[in-house]
């Protein structure tokens, strides 16, 4: 009706907008109007009257940007944060983490730990995550309660695992998980996570891909995380890991390969040709002494690369701002080239790049009309954020997760002025602390 007032839910007023739309420059004194769960309008304020709204968020002295996307994490592993540090990957995994999971991982601990992970991620600006672990039903429940968006995968491994004591049933459990959650929420996508080409047999990998293709969901796996893994696969199959997965028919556009450290030029070309997505986890790779992934080379070949934190047992946090800083600096020192990946490119990896990894680039990852309202506001009124010449550089090299002031997911304010609106963070932290007092290292 002509002349009818428009009712908007939220207006973000003022501040510097980084839309992350390709080719768009930062916008000062911006206005973002949200209607329902979507972005309705993006404009410049210029003191124009604010539309009628339920909520106004003033973003003066702040940066407005898309919510960050963590493309590889294991939320429940916050239980083991700091439990077995400073160890080689295989020792850490087989002698400490796997035994701890057998003893302490159950539906109750997974749900509680996942809630704590949500608290940490939201408070540091992550609005979407790609997760994979055991008792994935509980991860879905926790993420849904928090308001986050996620791809949650049931972990698959070819030996007894939490919730799947008989490995012969691992994919039956995974398939049932997909069916159970596939229509649950537009914020939650279910999936399968095959631990690695070493811990999953050829038969398991093939069936996992078949099931994922049947449901049209992404499939995740760790790929070439260590030199030892590459050597073992070559001894077993006579080819390098990427070519082994290609022979099995797993290298497809729905595959998300985590770590991808030890790739040679031929493997990078192959992954690019097959449109495989990569989740880059630099801090975990560094802490476990696994190696340095060829991120600049994969990006140069046109491979879609997102940034992940990995689990808190090998990082030890879920702060994507720290991960962005490391991503940029590690690539520079590895290539002895200070301009090889600039700050804007790294921020793109953590936003629209992550959206492409998960297959949601048409819904999230940028701030533009019609997209889902997943938006964060970063406070710049602090000594370490002053002065600000380049907002992209400021976010990548100066900001931390603690600078995040407000978080909106799917049009809902879940974090306002550094306070949660729907989670009791103090209670969650207290419960996890009391739980972990019973865990022995």
The model's pLDDT over 141-165, given as tens digits with 9 standing for 90+, comes to 999 999 999 999 999 999 999 999 9
The pLDDT of residue 51: 81
Burial level of 136, CB count in 10 A (0-12/13-18/19+)?
A: buried
The β-bridge relationship of strands 62-66 and 375-379 is antiparallel
Q: Does the pLDDT at position 2 exceed 50?
A: no
Cβ–Cβ < 8 Å for 435, 109: yes
The pLDDT of residue 283: 97
Of the candidates 259, 129, 114, which has an alpha carbon nearest to the alpha carbon of residue 189?
A: 129
For residue 377, give both structure tokens: 């506001």
Q: Does the pLDDT at position 1 exceed 80?
A: no
The pLDDT of residue 8: 59
The model's pLDDT over 165-213, given as tens digits with 9 standing for 90+, comes to 999 999 999 999 999 999 999 999 999 999 999 999 999 999 999 999 9
The pLDDT of residue 210: 97
Walk me through the domains of the chain, giving residue ranges and CATH numbers.
Answer: 8-66+363-420 (2.30.40.10), 68-358 (3.20.20.140)
Cα–Cα dist 439/290, whole Å? 27
Q: Does the pLDDT at position 125 exceed 60?
A: yes
The model's pLDDT over 222-247, given as tens digits with 9 standing for 90+, comes to 999 999 999 999 999 999 999 999 99
Please give the full DSSP string across 331-357, using - where no structure is assigned: HHHHHT-TTSS-HHHHHHIIIIIHHHH
When pLDDT is averaged across residues 25-46 and rounded to a whole number, the result is 94
Q: Tell me if the pTM is above 0.85.
A: yes
The model's pLDDT over 65-103, given as tens digits with 9 standing for 90+, comes to 999 999 999 999 999 999 889 988 788 888 988 899 989
When pLDDT is averaged across residues 107-113 and rounded to a whole number, the result is 97
């Amino acid at each position: 009706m002509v002349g009818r007032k428009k009712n908007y839910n939220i207006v973000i007023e003022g501040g510097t907008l980084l839309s992350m739309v390709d080719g768009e420059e930062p916008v000062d004194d911006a206005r973002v109007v949200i209607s329902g769960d979507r972005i309705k309008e993006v404009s410049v304020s210029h003191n124009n009257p604010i539309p009628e709204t339920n909520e106004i968020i003033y973003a003066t002295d702040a940066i407005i940007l898309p919510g960050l996307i963590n493309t590889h994490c294991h939320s429940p592993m916050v239980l083991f944060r700091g439990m077995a540090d400073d160890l080689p990957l295989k020792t850490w995994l087989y002698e400490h983490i796997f035994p701890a999971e057998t003893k302490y991982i159950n539906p109750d601990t997974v749900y509680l730990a996942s809630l704590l992970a949500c608290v940490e991620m939201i408070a540091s600006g992550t609005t979407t995550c790609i997760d994979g672990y055991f008792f994935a039903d509980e991860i879905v429940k926790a993420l849904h309660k928090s308001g986050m968006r996620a791809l949650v995968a049931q972990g698959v491994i070819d030996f007894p695992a939490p919730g799947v004591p008989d490995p012969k049933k691992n994919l039956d459990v995974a398939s049932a998980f997909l069916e159970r959650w596939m229509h649950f929420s537009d914020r939650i996508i279910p999936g399968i996570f095959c631990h690695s080409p070493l811990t999953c047999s050829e038969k398991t990998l093939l069936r996992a891909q078949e099931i994922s293709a049947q449901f049209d969901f992404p499939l995740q796996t760790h790929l070439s995380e260590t030199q030892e893994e590459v050597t073992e696969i070559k001894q077993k199959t006579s080819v390098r890991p990427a070519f082994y997965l290609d022979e099995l028919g797993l290298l497809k556009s729905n595959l998300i390969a985590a770590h991808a450290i030890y790739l040679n030029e031929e493997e990078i070309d192959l992954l690019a040709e097959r449109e495989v997505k990569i989740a880059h986890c630099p801090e975990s790779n560094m802490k476990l002494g696994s190696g340095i992934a060829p991120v600049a080379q994969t990006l140069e070949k046109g491979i879609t690369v997102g940034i992940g934190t990995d689990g808190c047992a090998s990082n030890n946090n879920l702060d994507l701002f720290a991960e962005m800083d490391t991503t940029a600096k590690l690539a520079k020192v590895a290539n002895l080239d200070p301009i090889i990946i600039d700050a804007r490119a790294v921020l793109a990896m953590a936003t629209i790049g992550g959206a492409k990894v998960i297959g949601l680039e048409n819904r999230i990852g940028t701030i533009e009309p019609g997209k889902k309202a997943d938006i964060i506001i970063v406070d710049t009124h602090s000594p370490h954020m002053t002065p600000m010449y380049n907002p992209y550089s400021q976010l990548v090299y100066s900001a931390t997760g603690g600078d995040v002031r407000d978080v909106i997911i799917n049009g809902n304010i879940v974090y306002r002025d550094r306070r949660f609106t729907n989670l009791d963070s103090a209670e969650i932290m207290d419960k996890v602390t009391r739980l972990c007092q019973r865990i022995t290292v």
